[in-house]
Amino acid sequence: MRHIMVLNAKGGCGKSTLATNIASYFATEGASVALADYDPQRSSLDWLERRSEDRPEIVGVAAFEDGFRHVPRSADIVVVDAPARSHGKELTELVKHAETLIVPVLPSTIDMQATTTFIEELKNVGKVQRKQAKIGTVANRVRDNTLIWGDLDEYLTKVRVPYIAALREAQNYVRAYTRGLGIFELPEYLAWPDWEEWEPLTAWLRSKRSQP
């Protein structure tokens, strides 16, 4: 059983969007997937409740209530939507449950500053120090040809953890969420630009580079 955790102490950075789309990606690839929502706002579980029964199954887990107690043992992949404002002992405890850590970052000076502090704290977590968990960053909700996107791209290039992908701000994510779908489950004519942007991330997740 593999655990992929999407986390950043800064709220509003798109953790649930990444978590739900990663879960749907692996489900459409034929894996047995569980989606563990640690955030009491339950955005990932709300998405799952919108999902049609004719789509590949994803098992929802209210981790903010019972932790991983109800994760099916048959799951191949557990995608974890971590809560915001996780620090100290709470962060250490969360990271114990993951081998792959994805940190989404928005094109904002405030978000970049907050992420600098968070990644340094994350690097000091024992499991990461022992190289039992791998970290990757993702530029999220970017707009081409803006100065702040250029700043974010430069920042993530220099942050000294793998910079995996850049995902645009697009209405397709809203369309997918409201129907309980992932970006890969939208029609190709509509979502092909997003599929291309996701390819570096899905390739990294499939590779040994994303696992200890």
Q: What is the pLDDT of residues 17-43, one digit of tens each?
A: 999 999 999 999 999 999 999 988 899
Backbone angles phi, psi at 68, to 5 degrees: -95, 15
pLDDT digits (tens, 9 = 90+) for 105-120: 999 999 999 999 999 9
Average pLDDT over residues 179-198: 97
Residue 34 falls inside a structural domain? yes
Give the pLDDT confidence score for residue 164 in this predicted structure: 97
In the structure, what pLDDT confidence band is assigned to residue 4 with cuts at 50, 70 and 90? very high
Residue 210 falls inside a structural domain? no
Residue 161 falls inside a structural domain? yes
DSSP 20-85: HHHHHHHHHTT--EEEEE--TT-HHHHHHHT--TTSPPEEEE-HHHHTTTT--TT-SEEEEEPPSS
Average pLDDT over residues 154-158: 94
Q: How many residues does the chain have?
A: 212
pTM for the whole structure:
0.95
d(CA 118, CA 104): 12
Give the pLDDT confidence score for residue 7 in this predicted structure: 94
Per the structure, the complete domain to which residue 195 belongs is given by: 2-205
Q: How many domains does the chain have?
A: 1
Question: What pairing do the DSSP bridges indicate for beta strands 100-105 and 163-168?
Answer: unpaired
Residue 8 falls inside a structural domain? yes
CB 34 within 8 A of CB 75: yes
Among 25, 24, 23, which residue's Cα sits nearest to residue 6?
23
Q: What is the CATH number of the domain that holds 74?
A: 3.40.50.300
Give the pLDDT confidence score for residue 67 in this predicted structure: 85
CB 150 within 8 A of CB 131: no
Residue 212 falls inside a structural domain? no
CA angle (112, 12, 204) in 5-degree steps: 70
Average pLDDT over residues 120-125: 93
Tokens for 195, please give them: 């599929």
Residue 211 falls inside a structural domain? no
